[in-house]
Amino acid sequence: MGNENNNLKSTITFEAETFRRIQPEEYLRKFIQQQVRPDGRSFNHFRKTTVNLSCISTADGSSMVRIGNTTVVCGIKAEVSEPNVNLPNEGYLVPNVDLSPICSPRFKPGPPSEQAQVLSENLNKLLKISKVIDLKTLCIEEGKAVWVLFADIVCVNYDGNVFDACVIALISALMNVRLPKAFYEDGLVKATEEKSITLSIIRTPYSASFAMFDGQYLLVDPNEMEESITKDGTTVVVDETGQLCNIWKIGSSCSPEQLKTCISKARDRYADITSIIEKAKQAI
């Protein structure tokens, strides 16, 4: 009996899984000190990203994006509505993110979680202030009828870095939108059966997200576990000319040098995403 107690005191051993559950931060630190992440990636390695266009036939434009295990589906539906009185020749583009309970045990059924609302709001700001599409081209008849594009993004599997996936899904679904020709006649909008009109997209911003661990290790494309432990997130959005569209940083402090590294990594990532989307376009 006494012998057993002594053994317990000298060596407490856990299964790796138990260790992860009770000391997640220490678990991650042990990996980071070996210059590797728990899923075997190096610090600068983005997970495999795939894009599938036109996957929902009931939507006017759609795409499915996977970043590692994170999967989001974006479907865009066009409807006709009256324009805002102050902006009579501008349509609407309304993004909405749904983190349904299907995607992770963390999300419960009910009204949208705070995280889903923050994601929707950030996407909305990105579209609006960076002017991704010219809303004037969505006008059918000034002051009477405009197109409203509802971009609904459903997350089906949540494994971190959902913002990047949402941005890619939204932009690629916008590229995929085909609208019918529409005319306004005496209070009615008539549309052709053939859907051929593409949207004029001014800018194609893509984002790259980073997590900072212990204030010095920069982990690109964090998965769910890394995201929940580090709580320090930086997101950088760049457009095709290399200009910055959005920088979003929360959590504990970081230096300008670290931000510069993030920006240059986001530009490298941009090239990768463009080639992935080009491939997806050819695959349709």
Q: Does the footprint of another protein cover residue 143 (CB under 8 A)?
A: no
Q: Token pair 């299964």 is at which residue?
A: 15
The residue assigned the tokens 């008539």 is 190
- Could you tell me the smallest distance in angstroms from the CB atom of residue 76 to another protein? 7
- Residues 171/204, Cβ–Cβ less than 8 Å: yes
Q: Using CB under 8 A, which of 16, 33, 44, 79 touches another protein?
A: 79
158 binds another protein (CB under 8 A): yes
Structure-token pair, residue 203: 């800018």
**Least distance to another protein, CB of residue 265, Å:** 13
Q: Which of 156, 90, 155, 100 is nearest to 127 (CA)?
A: 90
Residue 248, φ and ψ in degrees, nearest 5:
-135, 120
Q: Residue 117 interacts with another protein (CB under 8 A)? A: yes
- Taking the complex as a whole, the smallest distance from the CB of residue 150 to another protein amounts, in Å, to 6
Closest to another protein by CB, 4 vs 257, is 257
- Pick from 24, 45, 152, 178 the residue near another protein by CB under 8 A: 152
Q: Cα(111)–Cα(119) distance, rounded to whole angstroms?
A: 15
195 close to 180: Cβ distance less than 8 angstroms: yes
> Quick check: 160 and 229 in contact, CB under 8 A?
no
Does residue 282 touch another protein according to CB under 8 A? Answer: no
Pick from 108, 196, 282, 284 the residue near another protein by CB under 8 A.
108
Coil, helix or strand for 95? strand
Decide: is 81 part of the binding site for another protein (CB under 8 A): yes
Separation between Cα atoms, residue 204 and residue 131, nearest integer Å: 10
In the list 6, 13, 196, 253, the residue contacting another protein (rule: CB under 8 A) is 253
Q: Is 254 in the site for another protein (CB under 8 A)?
A: yes
Q: Tokens representing 23?
A: 């000391």
Q: Interface with another protein includes 246 (CB under 8 A)? A: yes
Q: Which is nearer to another protein, 151 or 280 (CB)?
A: 151
CB 161, min distance to another protein, A: 14
52 lies in the site for another protein, by CB under 8 A: no
| 1 vs 61 by CB, closer to another protein | 61
Q: Please state the closest distance from residue 137 (CB atom) to another protein, in A.
A: 18
Q: Which is nearer to another protein, 175 or 191 (CB)?
A: 191
Helix axes 256-283, 162-176, angle to 10 degrees: 40
**Candidate residues 14, 231, 272, 279; the one interacting with another protein per rule CB under 8 A:** 231
Tell me if 199 sits within 8 A of 147, measured CB to CB. no
Q: Considering only residues 162-201, where is the footprint of another protein by CB under 8 A? A: 180, 184, 187-194
Q: For residues 76 and 48, what is the distance between their CA atoms, to the nearest angstrom?
A: 25
